[in-house]
Amino acid sequence: MLFFGSLFLFLYRPLGIIFLGMGIVVIFIFISSKDAEILERWSSLIGGAQGNADKLMFATRELVEATKAPSLEMLEEAVGPSLSKTAFGETRKFLIVINKIGLKFRSYKIFVNANDYGNNLFVSWYLTYKPDWWQAVMLLMPGAKQVLNLAEMNLFDQQDLTAYVTNVHHCFLAAVDKLLLELHQDPTKLDRRSRGFLGIS
């Protein structure tokens, strides 16, 4: 579609503009419908902690801010099961941490959540990858590939991504530890290692 749009733009401008517009619309539809890929995750179930979700999310946000990590943005949003905004269906509130240190890292977002489960509190975070529109356009070009794992990143990118995720993980664990102590539970029994290609502990 974009190819035909570019071709017609030179041969017959009105038709070229239409094809280009249609191509852009198709790309936006493709990006918005594509689910975020979960690359890393961590979760635990805290017994008897029902009703502490907001308190835990607030503490996590404060701890992340206190680290003064560069170029981080945090926002709270209700998202659907695909971890994107939705007008229909069930949603849950997440603290979303976005690393804005460079354009390539904005596609790697961390979704932090605490959700009541009976008398318990299920706590979790997910590192996701979903390309922005300009990255999706680049991926349509010959020879392009997604950067989804550390092996395809240079050393500095590996360090920055690992530091970003580890920082959020440690802050979330610190908030969980504090809650466990308030509930007279032992934080040392918590499994601290994440699952995925980073394996953070």
In this prediction the pTM is 0.78
In a domain, 83, yes or no: yes
Clarify whether residues 29 and 45 are in a common domain: no
Clarify whether residues 62 and 16 are in a common domain: no
| pLDDT tens digits along 140-187 | 555 555 555 566 778 888 899 999 999 999 999 999 999 999 999 999
CA–CA dist 69, 61 (Å, integer): 12
CA–CA dist 44, 153 (Å, integer): 30
| pLDDT tens digits along 51-99 | 999 999 999 999 999 999 999 999 999 998 888 877 678 899 999 999 9
Clarify whether residues 106 and 74 are in a common domain: yes
In a domain, 201, yes or no: no
In a domain, 135, yes or no: yes
CA 44 distance to own-chain centroid: 19
Assign 116 to helix, strand or coil: strand
Helix (H) or strand (E) holding 134: helix 133-139
Clarify whether residues 103 and 176 are in a common domain: yes
In a domain, 20, yes or no: yes
Which residue segment(s) compose the domain that 111 sits in?
A: 36-196
Q: How many domains are there within the chain?
A: 2
Nearest to 111 by CA among 80, 66, 153: 80
Clarify whether residues 97 and 179 are in a common domain: yes
CA 50 distance to own-chain centroid: 25
Clarify whether residues 89 and 26 are in a common domain: no
Clarify whether residues 5 and 47 are in a common domain: no
Q: What percent of the chain has pLDDT over 90?
A: 54
The segment with the largest mean pLDDT, out of 7-16, 24-33, 101-110, 115-124, is 115-124
pLDDT at 124: 98
Clarify whether residues 177 and 190 are in a common domain: yes
Clarify whether residues 149 and 167 are in a common domain: yes
Clarify whether residues 160 and 171 are in a common domain: yes
CATH number (domain holding residue 149): 3.30.530
In a domain, 185, yes or no: yes
| pLDDT tens digits along 100-152 | 877 678 889 999 999 999 999 999 999 999 876 555 555 555 555 555 556 67
